[in-house]
Amino acid sequence: MLARGRRKDYQPDMGHAVTLIEGDGIGPEVTGAAVRVVEAAGVGVDWERAEAGAAAAARHGTALPDATIESVRRTGVALKGPTTTPVASGHASANVALRKALDLYANLRPVRSQAGVKTRYDGVDLVVVRENTEDLYSGIEHVVVPGVVETLKIITERASSRIAEFAFRHAEREGRRRITAVHKANIMKLSDGLFLECCRRTARAHPAVAYDEIIVDACCLQLVRDPSRFDVLLLENLYGDIVSDLCAGLVGGLGVVPGANLGDRCAVFEAVHGSAPDIAGKGIANPTACLRSATLMLRHLGEDRAAGRIDRAIDRVLGASDVRTQDLGGKATTLQFTDAIVAALD
């Protein structure tokens, strides 16, 4: 599915080198489950452990040590747990720094209804494509005078055209029918206007995929009313962040939606959810989103068969048993759910 970043020196008889970033909070619990299931599926992986997040900041004085960036540059692929970023003070986000350092410009989040997980809608099948490197996440803000703060929203032609091209190519490869660019160009006429101009130009070069546009607030309304109206959503960084969580709510919540951060050289796979401090360490986190992120990673590595086996095992456990974690209305612990997935591998 994802043709980028595969190590050229990979031999089938040796393991794939993959950087493993456990992260904070529930990160070690959900990545631990993913490592176990990938190994149970018979894929040889040499996990290279690296640190990022609040624990790394406390230990090394930086939330993203250079050694972590170097590791992902070397392996080309990482599986990452969520990292904690303090609100309104403290260290800057390790995620934003990692995406910038490795130029992981495309954030891809497939949002699908899960077998056996009852929500308001059946058959949701959307893809969120989020620009990952600029917008209000540039982190350029300052106090103009006491009581007045300015934050810069940076939108460039280069990044907007690059993410639009990524979205259209992804749509063509995956047989998707429509791309909807999401914006607020009625208010931010220059910045979101430039984003739209780049999307329109890219759309003209890909006539086989239909293209339309919607204002972000109207998009949220339409998504909760009738998600089948959309196919691929193409968004700037901030709108993509917010709309992703909304989309997760359509299919069972943050515990089930995976993601991939993709660049031309490296790929970092991680769930949409955060470090969930409210349940960290309790052994009750849902590892599904991290497991699905691992199957995206396996497809990226050319291990489609193993990825299919794991996806089917998740479908079987959620679809045909009552083994599920609390967020999905069950009683299973992370460990019990993971045991069930391993047992359900075909």
Which spans of this chain sit near ligand NAI (rule: CB under 6 A)? 26, 30, 82-85, 95, 254-255, 270, 273-279, 285-286, 289, 327
Structure tokens at 148: 């007045």
How near is the Cβ of 334 to ligand NAI at its closest, in Å? 8
Active site residue 103: no
| Listed residue (182, 172, 273, 262) closest to 222, CA to CA | 182
Closer residue to ligand NAI (CB): 218 or 242 = 242
How near is the Cβ of 74 to ligand NAI at its closest, in Å? 22
- CA pair distance 96, 26, nearest whole angstrom: 19
Host H or E run for residue 46:
strand 45-50
Closer residue to ligand NAI (CB): 160 or 275 = 275
How near is the Cβ of 333 to ligand NAI at its closest, in Å? 11
- CA pair distance 323, 329, nearest whole angstrom: 10
Closer residue to ligand NAI (CB): 227 or 287 = 287
Active site residue 137: yes
- CA pair distance 80, 27, nearest whole angstrom: 8
- CA pair distance 326, 320, nearest whole angstrom: 17
Closer residue to ligand NAI (CB): 76 or 287 = 287
Active site residue 100: no
How near is the Cβ of 265 to ligand NAI at its closest, in Å? 20
How near is the Cβ of 287 to ligand NAI at its closest, in Å? 7
Active site residue 122: no
Closer residue to ligand NAI (CB): 157 or 322 = 322
- CA pair distance 213, 222, nearest whole angstrom: 13
Amino acid (1-letter code) at residue 309? R
- CA pair distance 23, 305, nearest whole angstrom: 28
- Catalytic, out of 137, 192, 211, 239: 137
Active site residue 241: yes
Are residues 204 and 189 in contact, defined by beta-carbon separation less than 8 angstroms?
A: no
Host H or E run for residue 297:
helix 288-300
State the residue for tokens 């190519």: 169
Q: Which residue is nearest to ligand NAI (CB)?
A: 274
Task: Enumerate the active-site residues.
Answer: 137, 184, 217, 241, 245
